[in-house]
Amino acid sequence: MDLITLSPVDLALAALLVLALAGVTVWARMGLGRSLVIAGVRTVVQLLLVGLILQTLFDHAQLGWVALMAVVMLAVAGYEVMARQQRRFTGLWGYGIGTATMFISAFAVTVLALTTMVGPTPWWEPQYAIPLLGMLLGNTMTGIALGLDRLTQTVWRERRTIEGRLALGASWSEAVATMRREAARSGLMPTINAMAAAGIVSLPGMMTGQILAGAPPVEAVKYQILIMFLIAAGTGFGTLGAVWFASRRLFDTRERLRLDRLRAGRHA
């Protein structure tokens, strides 16, 4: 099956739908019209730039350039995790916790998949490595951001309860155990919902893209199953690690709650 290419006119027609939606939100006084237009423009510009970069990377595949692209993706994902927090950690901790756990989880799962499951030659082939890492980083970023935001917000709100538990002799881990579990659950829930609804409520993006590109449906399904399992592992381990490190950072060596290590983010 030949790939059906899209013309600028096709994309312009799709853009008109977004403009129509923006017009409706302006008419309804929702205050989202400008945001929709800006988001649409950013989508076009960012994806075109990424397309040009990836095409150049595919044509001149070298491990150094692939590693540089991966580092840039990680750096941006780490910033997005920090920016989404209503109460973030002060100093480098605000950026470092999310970035470090994403590096450990998403990168480890990506390298494992490339070397043992997908098996391209070379193993860092950008056609496989960059899209796979992008999907894992994107989902892990969301899980970690949700988990950290839930944890810091809950601890701030329940600080009196935590201090009461500490006063009664509980360790720092016992004092925030329920909050840590709820935070991890919050970060994992979108991934669990996506897995539960896959193929029944929705067709996942990678599977849809491969089918539209002409791949046999069964092969597209196998790739999608692999990707969803990898995303679940990367998001799960990343979220659990970030929530644990963040909860430990909220206490000092004498196991005292240190809310001065948090500051209000731009969305607070």
Listed by start position, the domains of the chain span 1-60, 62-264
Percent over 90 (pLDDT), the chain: 61
Whole-angstrom distance, CA of residue 128 vs CA of residue 11: 26
pTM of this structure = 0.83
Express each pLDDT in 144-202 by its tens digit. 999 999 999 999 999 999 999 999 999 999 999 999 999 999 999 999 988 888 877 77
- Give just the sign of the alpha carbon dihedral 147, 242, 233, 184: negative
Average pLDDT over the chain reads 89
Intra-chain end-to-end CA distance of the chain, in Å: 51
Structure tokens at 4: 């059906």
Whole-angstrom distance, CA of residue 262 vs CA of residue 153: 10
Query: How far are the Cα atoms of 30, 32, 40, 77, 196 from residue 21, in angstroms, in the given order?
Result: 11, 9, 11, 28, 30
67-76 burial string, b = 16+ CB within 10 Å, else e? Answer: eebbeebbee
- Provide mean pLDDT across the span 4-31: 90
Structure tokens at 251: 């206490």
- State the pLDDT at residue 147: 95
Is the distance from CB of 98 to CB of 148 less than 8 angstroms? yes
Query: Which ranges in the chain belong to alpha helices (H)?
Result: 8-27, 33-59, 63-83, 93-102, 108-113, 126-157, 159-167, 172-175, 177-197, 205-212, 217-249
pLDDT score of 85 more than 90: no
Whole-angstrom distance, CA of residue 119 vs CA of residue 257: 47
pLDDT score of 57 more than 90: no
More confident residue, 57 or 267: 57
3-class DSSP state for residue 122? coil
- Provide mean pLDDT across the span 81-100: 90
- State the pLDDT at residue 1: 56
